[in-house]
Amino acid sequence: MKKLNSVIEPPHYFSWHENIVNSKHTGESKTALQEISVNVGLRYTVLKNNVSNKTIQSITINEEMQENSQYLLDCYKNKSKKTKAIFEKIKSVQSSERTLSFCPYCGVTLPNTHDHYLPAEIFPEFSVHPLNLVPCCSNCNSSKGMRWLEGGRRLFLHFYSDEVSSNQYLHVQLHQRPDALGIGAKFYISENVPQDLSADEWELVRSHYTKLLLIDRYNKEVNSEISSIFDVCRSHLASGGPDVASFLNNYSANEAGIYGVNYWRVVLMRELANSAEFIDKVEESAH
């Protein structure tokens, strides 16, 4: 997991909302949105400031926005060219073209939708706010749903503002499995708080993994992933490449630069690079 780059104001976030409203045909929706325009703009500033101050959990529900929910949500649901431009901008500001090859929430599948970090049903005014649209996969979007706060504490990482540890806290343990390859693995999270996170930040990270059932998802994917890595390593050796350990370490270092040291595939590759049994099996298969 790695922090995402946020869209920079052009000159202010509210202009994205204005562009969508102005592109609408004259009618009930456009009139209603124009009438509350000033207050929507004020709410946009609230979200920006709270994201900047890391106090997103302090944002309260606005009754006027709730009353105009259908019009505000329509800005997102219609997927106009102006709305899609926000999605494209979020993608284009990332540090690598591959950053969004996997869902930031889980790192398992393609991010084919956008999660409203502050649920759109509760905060409809933020339905097209660039800081409230997080690329994610359908699985994570559905699993998160309208959940985001519990007892005044956030349940999930906000990838535009929350610090993501540069220390490894996700681990994997290899074990024997009764099949042709004979190597399986199980993921787990460290009990210790990473040195670069506070206790509260660490609790948020753990909540994110727990609520989205990420360890279970990784453990369901891991056997298939080991087989895939095995095939890549075998092809690498067969084509005259250097030793498997060096190959995996270099490969994982590159992936860590894009997705972070706690990206589950990076953690798995590094563990396999240290497994004499795995390397022996690859070398035997390649000859």
pLDDT in tens, 148-176: 999 999 999 999 999 899 999 999 999 98
Residue 280, in any domain of the structure: yes
The domain total for the chain is 2
pLDDT in tens, 231-263: 999 999 988 888 999 999 999 999 999 999 999
Q: Are residues 175 and 94 in the same domain?
A: no
Residue 162, in any domain of the structure: no
Report how far apart, in Å, the C-alpha atoms of 157 and of each of 69, 115, 207 are: 25, 12, 9
Residue 159, in any domain of the structure: no
pLDDT in tens, 78-118: 888 999 999 999 999 999 999 999 999 999 999 999 999 99
Residue 1, in any domain of the structure: no
Mean of pLDDT over the chain: 94
CB 4 within 8 A of CB 259: no
Q: Are residues 112 and 177 in the same domain?
A: no
Q: Are residues 219 and 124 in the same domain?
A: no
| Residue 133: φ, ψ to 5° | -110, 105
Q: Are residues 109 and 182 in the same domain?
A: no
Q: What span, in angstroms and rounded, lies between the C-alpha atoms of 193 and 130?
A: 31
Asked if the model's pLDDT at residue 179 lies above 90, the reply is no
Q: What is the pLDDT of residue 125?
A: 98
Residue 225 belongs to domain spanning: 170-286
Q: Are residues 130 and 175 in the same domain?
A: no
Report residue 18's pLDDT band, with 50, 70 and 90 as the boundaries: very high
Q: Are residues 27 and 114 in the same domain?
A: yes
Cα–Cα–Cα angle for 103, 152, 4, rounded to 5 degrees: 25
Q: Are residues 82 and 195 in the same domain?
A: no
Q: Are residues 24 and 94 in the same domain?
A: yes
Asked if the model's pLDDT at residue 272 lies above 80, the reply is yes
Residue 238, in any domain of the structure: yes
Asked if the model's pLDDT at residue 45 lies above 90, the reply is yes
Q: What is the pLDDT of residue 180?
A: 65
Report residue 5's pLDDT band, with 50, 70 and 90 as the boundaries: very high
Q: What is the pLDDT of residue 189?
A: 97
Q: Are residues 130 and 204 in the same domain?
A: no
Return the closest-CA partner of residue 119 out of 84, 164, 72, 176.
Answer: 72
Q: What is the pLDDT of residue 130?
A: 96
Residue 213, in any domain of the structure: yes
pTM: 0.94
56 vs 286, more confident: 56
1 vs 224, more confident: 224
- For residues 129-155, give the mean pLDDT: 96
Q: Are residues 182 and 248 in the same domain?
A: yes
Residue 59, in any domain of the structure: yes
Residue 40, in any domain of the structure: yes
Q: Are residues 112 and 179 in the same domain?
A: no
Q: What is the pLDDT of residue 285?
A: 84
Return the closest-CA partner of residue 98 out of 251, 225, 266, 259.
Answer: 259
Q: Are residues 143 and 18 in the same domain?
A: yes
Q: Is 53 exposed, middle or buried (0-12, 13-18, 19+ CB in 10 A)?
A: exposed
| Helices within the chain (DSSP H only) | 14-23, 28-35, 37-52, 63-67, 69-77, 81-92, 138-144, 199-211, 214-238, 244-259, 264-273, 276-286
Q: What span, in angstroms and rounded, lies between the C-alpha atoms of 146 and 77?
A: 17
pLDDT in tens, 52-61: 999 999 999 9
